Amino acid sequence: MNTQPMYATTSRNPRSQWVKNLTESHSWIGVIISPLLFVIFWAGAVTLFYEEVKQWAIVPQFPVAIEQTKMPLQQIVEDKLAQHDFDYEEHLMVQMPSEHDPYYKVFLDLVREEGMEDEHGEVVSLLIDPNTGASVANRDDFFLGDFIYRLHYDLNLPGGTYLIGIISLFFFFALVSGVFIHAKKLFKHFFLYRNDKNRRDQLLDLHNVVGVMTLPFTLMYALSGLVFNLAIVYQIAFVVFIYQGDQDTLFKDAGFTLFDEPRIEQSIDMSNAYTIIEQARQQPDFYLRNVIFYNYGDESAIIQLRGNDLANFSQKDEFFYRVNTGELLNKTDIENYNVFRKGREIIATLHFGDFAGVDVRILYFILSVAICAMIVIGNMLWLDKRTLQQNVSPRNISIVRGLTLGGCGGLIVATTVAFFVERVLPAGMQARADYLIASFILTLAMAIVLSYSISNKRRYLTQMIMLSCLVLTATIAADWYLFASEIIQLTRQGFYGIVGVEIGMLLMIISGLYIVRKLSHLPSQQSLSLQPVS
């Protein structure tokens, strides 16, 4: 958020100088973090509909008939164990079907190669039809939703989590400094938008109004981003200074139970585990999300059940059972919760809008897109001011202009291209996910490079928006050309996420065309701060 002061001041008293210095810090920090901050909020906006995007990508490829009789989970799991070289020293996880995702997902750790015993082995992630037990695909082949989600929390880069945490820290400072800068006129100018003034005043008012109205939302995101992405910092501090290096005790006090027992090497029938699972699935206020098996098929076998308590806000329940005896070893529920873990779950629920239905997520999406616009407007204000003052080199101004136009605009184009590629690539294609990632990166890189080489920036911006609209239109057309009958049938069965994503695309197309129309009617002197310095 790169807010400029609402009024100019020539006073040299200490308070005025303090506000001026704070404004400069706010402005520079905002423009430095703006490219990555835009990525975080744009990817976060799409990630709000992660489950719907996954449903849109996968389910039409492999429709599931809900009315059919489901195959027993035990038969599915043991068939997969027989088909793969599973490492029984590792755990096995099964993610249960949901209203968005009708498949079982089975994650198997394979036996390590000779000489690689000290490293983690390959993990196979299977999408399984619940009716037939057939492995329809590898879960990682349909990578769009996960790619954008990872872009949100670690930029798909090594160490990206910490970088996002640092960005969150600076973003928090930008928010607080913006409040201090406008403290006197925060409420007086809350809805001020000077439509009859010059373009810079209009942009400034728009930036300020969006900044004030989204302040509770942005503060929540900044603080929760710090908690999630820089947790390792205070975790290390706690381990070293408070727990004297005892990490297991730290995890226990934080509410994370670990059962790392050796195998006894005495086989047992695992039917009791599936009886416990089925009983959990029948509980009216408990939604079972996944099951983890430890020491599968051994007398020491333990199962871990994770799910949501539907009767309480942001309550994640967890149960550990001894398979052989059915004994409950440990539980975390509304009556037995850990304060640290409960607090983190509440923050996560607020962060992802995972409460009160789709309405809240739509509101979060609108606010996230508004913040993306605020970031771009802040950069435009910065460019206006620095160009007029001529106190920043033309090269630095060119870099900011290129990143604002090519980086932010290119990210949107790259996202639409990724959606199109996800839809049209054949389901069984080798390295399918790699092609999707390559299409995204190549589109983004081309957009940034072209932004530095094209002189008419406004026309280039218009062309990028039009390209995004065309790609989204092609994606919707491909949907119905390839899967018209499947989409209709799935919608009748209650899988509304597919049509929901298409409606979202259609609204983005309409919004894009509206912006193009407004840009085409702008006077030539109102060039959105995107023309090169003369």
**How confident is the model over 470-487, as pLDDT tens digits?**
999 999 999 999 999 999
Per-residue pLDDT at 520? 80
Residue 499 burial (CB < 10 Å; 0-12/13-18/19+)? middle
Q: Give the C-alpha distances (Å, rounded to integers) separating 511 from 41, 408, 466, 505.
A: 18, 16, 11, 10
Tens digits of residue pLDDT in 153-171:
899 888 888 899 889 889 9
What confidence tens digit (pLDDT) does each residue in 1-25 have? 444 444 444 445 666 777 778 888 8
What mean pLDDT comes out for the span 439-457? Answer: 92
What mean pLDDT is predicted for residues 106-131?
Answer: 82
pLDDT bracket for residue 200 (50, 70, 90):
low
Least trusted range by pLDDT, from 249-263, 301-315, 406-420, 449-463: 249-263
Confidence of residue 380 (pLDDT cuts 50, 70, 90): confident
Quick one: pLDDT at residue 443? 97
| Average pLDDT, integer, range 219-226 | 88
Q: Residue 213: how many CB atoms within 10 A of its CB?
A: 15
Residue ranges of the alpha helices (H) in 138-214? 144-154, 160-181, 199-213
pLDDT at residue 467 above 70? yes
Beta carbons within 8 Å of 311's beta carbon, 6+ residues apart: 285, 334
Q: What average pLDDT does range 481-508 have in this prediction?
A: 94
Per-residue confidence (pLDDT) for residue 260, from 0 to 100: 76
Helix (H/G/I), strand (E/B), else coil: 183: coil
Three-state helix/strand/coil letters over 493-528: CCCCHHHHHHHHHHHHHHHHHHHHHHHHCCCCCCCC
As a whole-number percent, the residues of the chain with pLDDT over 70 amount to 84
In a 13 Å sphere around the CA of 191, the CA atoms on its Cβ side amount to 0
* Residue range 173-195: mean pLDDT, rounded: 70
Q: Mean pLDDT for the chain? A: 85
Least confident of 79-88, 134-143, 206-215, 334-343: 206-215
Q: What is the mean pLDDT of residues 292-310?
A: 95
Which one has a higher pLDDT value, 17 or 453?
A: 453
Question: What are 56-74's pLDDT values in tens digits?
Answer: 999 999 988 766 678 999 9
Residue 395: pLDDT band (50, 70, 90) is confident
First-last CA distance in the chain: 27
Per-residue pLDDT, 64: 84
Other beta carbons less than 10 A from residue 271's beta carbon: 11
pLDDT in the model for residue 12: 55
Give tens-digit pLDDT for 238-269: 666 676 767 677 677 667 777 778 899 999 99
Q: What is the largest CA-CA distance in the chain?
A: 83
CB 458 within 8 A of CB 524: no
CA of 13: how far to CAs of 20, 185, 463, in Å? 11, 19, 48
**Per-residue confidence at 196, pLDDT binned at 50, 70, 90?**
low
